[in-house]
Structure 1
Amino acid sequence: MKVEIIAMNRFKGTLKYIRLLILITIIAAVLLTLFVIGLIGFAKWKGAPPLAVPQSTIFYAEDGTKIGENHHGGKRYWVPLEDISPYAIQATLSIEDRKFFEHHGFDFKRIMAAIIADIKAMAKVQGASTITQQYARNLFLSYEKTWFRKWNEAIYTIRLEANYSKEQILEGYLNTIYYGHGVYGIEAAANYYFGKSAKELSLAEAAMLAGIPKGPSYYSPLVDEQRAKERQKIVLRSMVENGAISEKEAKEAEKVRLHYSKGQEMLTQSIAPYFQDVVKTILRTKLGLDEETIEMGGLRVYTSLDVDMQAIAEKQIETIISKQSDIQAALVAMEPKTGEVKALVGGRDYTKSPFNRAVQAERQPGSTFKPFLYYAALKHGFTPSTELRSELTTFTLEDGTTYTPHNFNNYYANDSITLAQAIALSDNVFAVKTHLLIGQEELVQTAKQLGITSKLKAVPSLALGTSPVKVIDMVQAYSTIANNGKKIEPVFIKKIVNYEGKVIYEHKPVHEQILDPDLAFVTTHLMTGMFDPALNDYSTVTGQSIISEITRPYAGKSGTTKTDSWMIGYTPQLVAGVWTGYDRDQTIDKIEEKQYAKKIWVRFMEESLEGKKVKSFEPTDGVVGVYVDPHNGKLATDSCPTKRFSYYIAGTEPTESCTDHFHEKKKKKKKPKEKDSWLKHLFDWF
């Protein structure tokens, strides 16, 4: 009996929990229904959202000049759905949202499938946004990854579905979706990629375009056609599965060879296109902005570009390099105190080759690498007066191999020369000796400390610049030396303002002393030697050919290899580096081509600094300057025919006076001039 009572009580308890569960479920269902009805009512009450197009991102120079905007000057076209190829519509629906005409803005089955797939992969591997959601995202004009944005995006989706027909939503989506290269909308995309209207798109072309929005910079056929073709096949397969086309049509479309117009119909003039490409890369990689925000987030990006200097750089490259030559050029100009990049040229013609040789290419720097070596040598006790022999030398290395560096044209002093002469004359034997004396890792470490990001080999020839580097890195390194050892990093973006007018980024300068300021100054003064004929010896200083064009103090270094020609130099106000060479490792053989880099550099610097105060390099507190004989590095005396004022770390200046010229300066007593006799005059007459 007791057992029956206990069983009955348990049954009643269970029944009570079941009733409670049913009640909670009913209440939750009612609340959810009310919530959904409330959302729909709210959406109806808010009315139809305006079908606005995204705002373009605009780039400005430092003086406020507009230098470019991402949608190529407003090249977007809104076309009605009936003026869009049925293939383009079906391809987009098949790959983006097959159940578009069945759901009400959200595909819950697809959402659940995506969540399960993401959980299994422990990463976001599958998207579930419908066309309406994507369109809402485009219209909302905000791309910060927050729950507030997600909520507003959902509200926009409901408002779109509640107030517009499916055809209107699809039309708006196709007219605003991003297809890469600054192109928005199917009409602009058809024009850009194929030189035709959206109505004329073939099945193969439509499938190609439909695959791009998933990753515009990844699936563009102008970036990687093979990858884009693979994506096209996926789109065609989706169309077959969706019943839009047959298997036969898909296979035929796969075989069609597409011809691209490469945007020739939409090209517009812009200022400093290579510079703008760098800015966009920084926005994406360093500041973490997604591509949608960069392209259509309504940003106002204020850069460091000086439009006048940019124009001078482009003009000098165009004027100096022969139009018949295929040689390429790159130039970077930077303020040494701030790191702000004032001009950047990545090639001779952006429309023919957008490859940016200023920041992407790695080329052998030749002797422009030597200032890093000599800074390291000064740190190890060398001075501008340190002497080593300049003569043909074969070095036997630790592993038993030999290395024989050669000077330009095989000229050698066959005598001792000073470090000051070695850098001015670009003596290779002196450089390799120095490199081996201080240890090969020292140069690698110094270069890395200065901002060289390329891989460097600790080998004897590194002293002669045989490891390829980037122009931007070299200019950065020279800027750090020019700034007396305070670290400099290239600054392209000074400020970013979003579409609401709020500052979302502002550059904050960082002052970090990475080099000894006194050694950096002595290195700078050593680099003035390439423009000083007082250092001429077995050869002339390397800046001899452009000395006549300079009107102010410069420090610099040129560099030449078989395939590369460089000139990098600076004043206290401006650093500029120029590289010239062929893209395909063609050797530089013509004499005039070997001078391009120096000529471009000196004329760019002179014109850019015209009208600006002439400034000298200010000595730091820990250096002293003395007059020396440039040929032996000893203290100059009145007997020395040539004197040069040189700087040394205090306590390392020479103390021995030059005695090489005493015998040349002994004054000979002149005999008093005798008056010519009348007899001598008569003799001369005969």
Structure 2
Amino acid sequence: MGNFLHIGAEAWRDLIAGVRSVLPAQRTRAGRPARKGARAPKRQKNPSRNSAPFFTPGWHRRAGIEGVLVSISLGFVGVPTFLYLVLFYIAPEPPDEANLWAVNRLPSIVILDRQGEEIALRGARYGESVPVKELPDYFVQAILATEDRRFYRHKGVDPRGIARAAFSNIRTGTISEGGSTITQQLAKNLFLTPEQSYLRKAKEALLALWIEGRYDKDQILSLYLNRIYMGAGAYGVESAAQTYFGKSARDVTLSEAVLLAGLPKAPSALAPTNNPFGAQDRANEVLGNLVEIGAISAAEAADARLDPAQIVSNADKAELGYFFDYVTKEAYERVGAGQKDLIIHTTIDRRLQRAAEKAVKSRLSVDTKQAGATQSALIAYDNQTGALRAMVGGLSYVESQFNRATQAKRQPGSAFKPFVYAAAFENGLTPVSEFVDRPVNIAGWRPANYNNGYEGRMRLTEAMARSINTVAVQVSEKIGRDKVIELAHRMGLSSDIPGAEAGIALGAFSATLEDLTRAYIPFARGGRKSSPHAIVRIEDNDGNTLYQNESTSNDNQRVLDRQIATDMTHMLFQVVNGGTGARARLAGRDVVGKTGTTNDWRDAWFVGYSAQITAGVWVGNDEYRPMKKITGGALPAEIWKSFMSEAHSNAPKRRLAGAFPVRVERDRDQIGAFYTELLGDFDRLKNGGRVRRSRRDDD
């Protein structure tokens, strides 16, 4: 502020001296010069009354001169005071120690995959700071030619630019141009809002002078290039170059440089990921600017137009939005949504993620949509660690951000039956225990089978393989619904299960695909607890660990007896080995699972596992509309098989304890009749008769 006062005082002192230098010599009261030797006038007793009247000839000149002197004197005091008020009461005052590389920097979340590679970013993407001297000369010239050609000649505010903008604004009657220098743009981006007003322009100019007084031109240009927004969430030239071209700003070609240089004017509207034609038109304008200032030749500009910049494809990240939202929400819950950048180390496997997306999209074709199946979800976990490896929340994240893997609560149907039978085995039943498939009536509720028929006596193994509803209900009622609910929660199912409803044996409650799939993992782990997780560690930008996942699935905490887990794997193996889930079978690899279909075919499920991975698939509609007889053993099983085939393409083959086939036995009376007939044949052979060929029913 002292400098402002000093400059003002000097300016007004010079102005006053200049005015006095042009004042006329002393004159008499008549307005004529005094004669040499003239007698001095007598002193009057009352000068105020006897002095010459003011309105004498020349009074108007004296009044004007005195007015100028008074105005100058007042201005000498008033102008510095006005500048003081402007500086301290209109313009924001950054602290002397302000770090312009960090001031008002928006926080971001960087998401890394299981290999530590960046797969996405939430919030502002700031790249590595790149000094001006390390950028290609044509890149720097493109920025200057387009944004501020007199950058190295002005002191932060360019009067020529302001005059040009003012004339344009007066002519158009709007504030369409600002005449801002690069320093002013930097001041606006760091400290001000984007509003268009003369007050903001005044603040901008004062802040630009403040910046110019503390940084040299190269530092200011570096700050501008590394902090300016360039669309698609990218801040700074390095981030923009990586986002659009997959390379450092140090390595951009002329075609790429002019595209980037054209973005600061309207970064969101001209981002090449959203508006490739608009971005290229703007790039051509920048090429013209370079030719105007002589930075490149017309021939070089023509070559660049013929070979425009190519935007890198981000197609493999398109549907990762569901996972991004999922881990971002959890990260904020873990460490809070502060102002620091967060780096999240996740468990996602990009190869498995691509396989999951491909499996869902390739199977939901036009034909399946005509059959009423318009949405699907898939989620997969590593059995050994509980790490989430793949997540598909729907067909298109762009069209719908609703995550059907983690947010959609639907009835799991028969996919819940494994928990019924596991509870039964804890209470004395075994896979060979027999029940009769027959009509059941529980307080007026009469569950029916898929085919509306009854098959008579059968073992629980067969009841599981063929998904017999009446047997599952009888088992649940026999051991008690509370035991089924307790076991399901112990296995990891967090959904509310209403114990008053007998229909829970058939999955008549709401659960998410994530919740149900997690609860299957202990089956695959021999009865040991799973610790499903998607985040390994959260750090800030300085490398400080804010959260570390301490859970582990290798703690051997048992939630189910090993033999019971083996029995369940044995029963679930029959489902894919000739039962309702036969379409999920993988050649040469042990896999097991269970189908699920709800009333009116509104939801179809398949959840299963190998020795390495547990995965679940849901198919249905957002509006709960019925599908045209799409069951869990059809489309969901096919999607599951497609994903698991790709997921295990390079994985070693590992056996699942209990995964071996067993003949599904018929009713005892039918078996007895077969052996009776066989004994009769032996008797006829003894007596020399011919053996009559017996007929066996198809399996």
TM-score bracket, normalised by the shorter chain, equals 0.5 to 0.7
Report 1:149-168 matches (<5 A): none
Instruction: Using the TM superposition, give the Cα deviation of residue 421 of structure 1 relative to its aligned residue in structure 2, in angstroms.
Output: 1.1
Report 1:252-331 matches (<5 A): 269=315, 271=317, 272-290=320-338, 292-293=339-340, 297=341, 299-323=342-366, 325=369, 327-331=374-378
- Does 2:101 match 1:58? no
Mapped contact 2:413–2:508 kept (Cα < 8 A):
yes
Amino acid at match of 1:663: T
Identity among equivalent pairs (%): 29
In the TM superposition, what whole-angstrom CA distance separates every residue of 1:585-634 from its partner, at most 9, and x where no partner exists? 11011559972101001121122112322222236xxxxx9998742799
Partner Cα distance (1:348, 1:627) in 2: 36
In the TM superposition, what whole-angstrom CA distance separates every residue of 1:269-313 from its partner, at most 9, and x where no partner exists? 4522211221111101134353x43xxx1x432221111111111
Secondary structure (helix, strand or coil) at the match of 1:57 reads: strand
Partner of 1:454: 495
The 3 A distance-change label for structure 1 pair 85 and 455 is: farther
Partner Cα distance (2:447, 2:426) in 1: 24
Mapped contact 1:68–1:270 kept (Cα < 8 A):
no
The 3 A distance-change label for structure 1 pair 363 and 543 is: same
Secondary structure (helix, strand or coil) at the match of 2:451 reads: helix
- Does 2:656 match 1:611? no
Aligned partner of 1:525 among 542, 546, 570: 570
* Count of residue correspondences: 468
- Does 2:486 match 1:445? yes
Instruction: Using the TM superposition, give the Cα deviation of residue 94 of structure 1 relative to its aligned residue in structure 2, in angstroms.
Output: 12
Partner of 1:241: none
Mapped contact 2:417–2:506 kept (Cα < 8 A):
yes
Amino acid at match of 2:355: I
Aligned partner of 1:560 among 591, 597, 601: 597
Mapped contact 1:48–1:163 kept (Cα < 8 A):
no
TM-score normalized by the length of structure 1 = 0.57
Partner Cα distance (1:443, 1:660) in 2: 37
RMSD (CA atoms): 5.1
Amino acid at match of 1:311: R
Partner of 1:596: 635
In the TM superposition, what whole-angstrom CA distance separates every residue of 1:214-238 from its partner, at most 9, and x where no partner exists? xxxxxxxxxxxxxxxxxxxxxxxxx
Amino acid at match of 1:631: E
Aligned partner of 2:463 among 422, 427, 430: 422
Mapped contact 2:394–2:404 kept (Cα < 8 A):
yes
Partner Cα distance (1:428, 1:477) in 2: 21
Aligned partner of 1:551 among 588, 591, 595: 588
The 3 A distance-change label for structure 1 pair 671 and 480 is: closer
The 3 A distance-change label for structure 1 pair 456 and 100 is: farther
- Does 2:391 match 1:357? no
Report 1:629-644 matches (<5 A): 630-631=664-665
Worse-superposed segment, 463-472 or 387-396: 387-396
The 3 A distance-change label for structure 1 pair 318 and 43 is: closer
Partner Cα distance (1:47, 1:361) in 2: 48
Instruction: Using the TM superposition, give the Cα deviation of residue 65 of structure 1 relative to its aligned residue in structure 2, in angstroms.
Output: 3.5
Runs of 5+ consecutive residues of structure 1 not aligned to the other structure: 1-41, 104-131, 133-158, 198-264, 397-401, 534-540, 620-624, 635-639, 642-658, 675-686
The 3 A distance-change label for structure 1 pair 630 and 300 is: same
Mapped contact 1:550–1:602 kept (Cα < 8 A):
no
Secondary structure (helix, strand or coil) at the match of 2:120 reads: strand
Secondary structure (helix, strand or coil) at the match of 1:486 reads: coil
Instruction: Using the TM superposition, give the Cα deviation of residue 426 of structure 1 relative to its aligned residue in structure 2, in angstroms.
Output: 0.6
Instruction: Using the TM superposition, give the Cα deviation of residue 182 of structure 1 relative to its aligned residue in structure 2, in angstroms.
Output: 5.3
TM-score normalized by the length of structure 2 = 0.56
Mapped contact 1:183–1:189 kept (Cα < 8 A):
no
Secondary structure (helix, strand or coil) at the match of 2:622 reads: coil
Partner Cα distance (1:592, 1:477) in 2: 21
Amino acid at match of 2:577: D
In the TM superposition, what whole-angstrom CA distance separates every residue of 1:152-192 from its partner, at most 9, and x where no partner exists? xxxxxxx999959xxx99xx99x9799x9958799657889
The 3 A distance-change label for structure 1 pair 349 and 267 is: farther
Amino acid at match of 1:528: F
- Does 2:368 match 1:368? no
Amino acid at match of 2:393: G
Partner of 1:574: 613
In the TM superposition, what whole-angstrom CA distance separates every residue of 1:125-150 from its partner, at most 9, and x where no partner exists? xxxxxxx9xxxxxxxxxxxxxxxxxx
Runs of 5+ consecutive residues of structure 2 not aligned to the other structure: 1-93, 129-142, 149-160, 166-174, 179-184, 236-263, 279-310, 690-699
Partner Cα distance (1:347, 1:161) in 2: 52
The 3 A distance-change label for structure 1 pair 593 and 376 is: closer
Report 1:134-145 matches (<5 A): none
| Structure possessing the higher radius of gyration over alpha carbons | 2
Mapped contact 2:111–2:345 kept (Cα < 8 A):
yes
Report 1:193-212 matches (<5 A): none
Partner of 1:339: 386
Partner of 2:508: 466
The 3 A distance-change label for structure 1 pair 628 and 408 is: closer
Instruction: Using the TM superposition, give the Cα deviation of residue 72 of structure 1 relative to its aligned residue in structure 2, in angstroms.
Output: 7.5
Amino acid at match of 2:356: A
Mapped contact 1:386–1:633 kept (Cα < 8 A):
no
The 3 A distance-change label for structure 1 pair 449 and 632 is: same
Amino acid at match of 1:475: T
The 3 A distance-change label for structure 1 pair 160 and 479 is: farther
- Does 2:523 match 1:489? no
The 3 A distance-change label for structure 1 pair 468 and 63 is: same
The 3 A distance-change label for structure 1 pair 558 and 161 is: farther
Mapped contact 1:546–1:599 kept (Cα < 8 A):
yes
In the TM superposition, what whole-angstrom CA distance separates every residue of 1:299-341 from its partner, at most 9, and x where no partner exists? 4322211111111111111111114626101000111221111
The 3 A distance-change label for structure 1 pair 436 and 85 is: farther
Mapped contact 1:385–1:633 kept (Cα < 8 A):
no
Partner Cα distance (1:411, 1:586) in 2: 26
Secondary structure (helix, strand or coil) at the match of 2:391 reads: strand
Aligned partner of 1:663 among 676, 689, 698: 676
Partner of 1:498: 540
Secondary structure (helix, strand or coil) at the match of 1:409 reads: coil
Partner Cα distance (1:160, 1:486) in 2: 63
Partner of 2:138: none
Partner of 1:586: 625
Partner of 2:425: 378
Instruction: Using the TM superposition, give the Cα deviation of residue 672 of structure 1 relative to its aligned residue in structure 2, in angstroms.
Output: 12
Partner Cα distance (1:311, 1:332) in 2: 12
Partner Cα distance (2:95, 2:194) in 1: 28
Instruction: Using the TM superposition, give the Cα deviation of residue 382 of structure 1 relative to its aligned residue in structure 2, in angstroms.
Output: 1.2
Partner Cα distance (1:663, 1:384) in 2: 27
In the TM superposition, what whole-angstrom CA distance separates every residue of 1:617-675 from its partner, at most 9, and x where no partner exists? 236xxxxx9998742799xxxxx99xxxxxxxxxxxxxxxxx7754354446758999x
Mapped contact 1:332–1:343 kept (Cα < 8 A):
yes
Instruction: Using the TM superposition, give the Cα deviation of residue 498 of structure 1 relative to its aligned residue in structure 2, in angstroms.
Output: 2.9
Partner of 2:248: none
Partner Cα distance (2:232, 2:491) in 1: 35
Partner of 2:522: 480
Instruction: Using the TM superposition, give the Cα deviation of residue 395 of structure 1 relative to its aligned residue in structure 2, in angstroms.
Output: 2.0
Amino acid at match of 2:653: V
